[in-house]
Amino acid sequence: MTLRLDLLRHGETELGGGLRGSLDDALTDVGWMQMRAAVVGAGPWSRIISSPLQRCARFAEELAEKLGLLVQLEPDMQELHFGEWEGRSAAQLMETDAEGLGLFWADPYAFTPPQGEPLPVFSARVLGAALRLQQTYVGERVLLVCHGGVMRLLLAQARGLPREQLLQVDVGHGALLSIQIDANGVLSE
């Protein structure tokens, strides 16, 4: 049996664009509207699981209350930690670390931002959590409120993309997409 995992990316955050990573900034009013609009007519879900960062968890709590569900926080579904790049935009990094940014964009598995989380570690963390969810909630439809990097990773796996194409997976603020995870741990759309 499979798990249907609906993936909802958080909306726009107060501190704006750039690599937010493990920074715990709040949603803007626009971010709240993006997420509320994304779930209109969606579901039904048997449960809601969320990254513990407030840009995900606060909305998950609001939606869970509205739907009469509980929220389970899943630390392993947090965003990639970007180390010294946290909070910086691509434009800022082009001025200070253009070579590193280019290497990261070309193959994020082969280049780790200074003091950041290596993508193979991030991948193992997120995929491990996804497999635990499949084993625990097999046959259910679950909403996962998470981050762009988490969604890109899960969608790239489901689409069978080569690792170099990970950052080409488009996931906007408030995007709601769906994958399935079968009993063998295979992800598909």
What are 33-66's pLDDT values in tens digits?
999 999 999 999 999 999 999 999 999 999 999 9
- Residues of the chain with pLDDT > 90: what percent? 94
Cα gap 59→53, rounded to integer Å: 10
Domains assigned to the chain = 3-188 (3.40.50.1240)
- Residues of the chain with pLDDT > 70: what percent? 100
What Å distances lie between residue 49 and 9, 12, 141, 157, CA to CA? 12, 20, 11, 20
Confidence (pLDDT) at 81: 97
Task: State if pTM tops 0.75.
Answer: yes
Is pLDDT at 72 greater than 90 in this prediction? yes
Is pLDDT at 15 greater than 90 in this prediction? no
What are the helix (H) ranges across the chain? 29-38, 54-67, 90-96, 98-106, 119-136, 148-159
